[in-house]
Amino acid sequence: MKKYFKLLAFSISALLMLAGCEKEENKVYFEGGTAPVLSASKTAVSLTPATQDQNAITFNWTNPDYRFTTGVSSQDVTYTFEIDTVGSNFSGAYHYVTAFARDISKSFTEKELNEVLGNTMRLEPGRKYNLEARVTSTIGSGASGKLVSNVTAFNATPFAPPPKVAIPVTGKLYIVGNATAGGWNNPVPTPSQEFTKVSNTKYTIDLPLSPGLFYLFLPENGSWSTKYAWPEGLARNPAGGPFEFRGGGGQDFQAPAAAGTYRIVVDFQVGEFTVTKL
């Protein structure tokens, strides 16, 4: 019996060792890749309203060819493409960032690039800027296999882009809501709840806000037909953020948690507003 037991134990051990060897042999290891090489179709870009639908510039980059021990990866590669002004090292507060999978090129029409420079990066129109672009590749989830391309330089002079959000055709802006002294009564009391027009695309107002309650912006006092509201499906931020023009629907803006007098600045050019305690 002991002889058979020893034989059985030996057989089990041998099988376990064999399974361990097979498991070790079947492991797949990531071997890395080659940083993408980025190039641009132009080094100087012309931007004019008359030709805004034409191609402005195209960026191309090489595939990083991520490899595993089993060969070249078939997984989707994610690319992060960035534009910033020279010297900002892609850390500027408003530098342009976009991400997408698989593609190894990115083209901009003059209108698209101009909106990136004017509305996203908030560069002044009529001024020539030296810019640079780069692309970063990753594979799988997280930042696995992160590879950063070379930096490609180009220059462009943006023209004034159209406002990101339609400006009030009335040339006026009002605030309504239970966070304000006038509540949801419409028309609202003026001039206490009427914004001051700073420019064609910027309005500002100083007023007390009740904590945690809600409000909207109206282009026409006494009318609910149109409004400016917080975007649907986006978590509200009492300190401000994006807003949109609505004929109906939309989320109310939420006032800050602390009572006090606040300055609200609405910028239609970039489609954002700020709420700052005074």
Instruction: List the structure tokens of 46.
Output: 């012309």
Taking only Cα atoms into account, the Rg of the chain, rounded to an integer number of angstroms, comes to: 29
CA distance 148 to 134: 7
Instruction: List the structure tokens of 211.
Output: 């904590």
Q: What is the domain partition of the chain in residue ranges?
A: 30-156, 174-277
Classify 9 as helix, strand or coil. Answer: helix
Identical fold between 30-156 and 174-277: yes
What's the fold here for domain 174-277?
A: Immunoglobulin-like (2.60.40)
Instruction: List the structure tokens of 58.
Output: 């195209």
> What one-letter code names the amino acid at 236?
R
Average pLDDT over residues 3-18: 43
* Residue 5 phi, psi dihedral angles, 5° rounding: -65, -45
User: Which one is the CATH code of 30-156: 2.40.50.140, 2.60.40.10, 2.30.30.90, 2.40.160.50?
Assistant: 2.60.40.10
Is the peptide bond preceding residue 187 cis, with omega within 30 degrees of 0? Answer: yes
Classify 54 as helix, strand or coil. Answer: coil
Classify 155 as helix, strand or coil. Answer: strand
Q: What's the pLDDT tens digit per position in 147-187? A: 999 999 999 999 988 899 999 999 999 999 999 999 999 99
Q: What's the pLDDT tens digit per position in 194-230? A: 999 999 999 999 999 999 899 999 999 999 999 999 9
Classify 115 as helix, strand or coil. Answer: helix
Give the pLDDT score at 214: 97
CA distance 177 to 218: 10
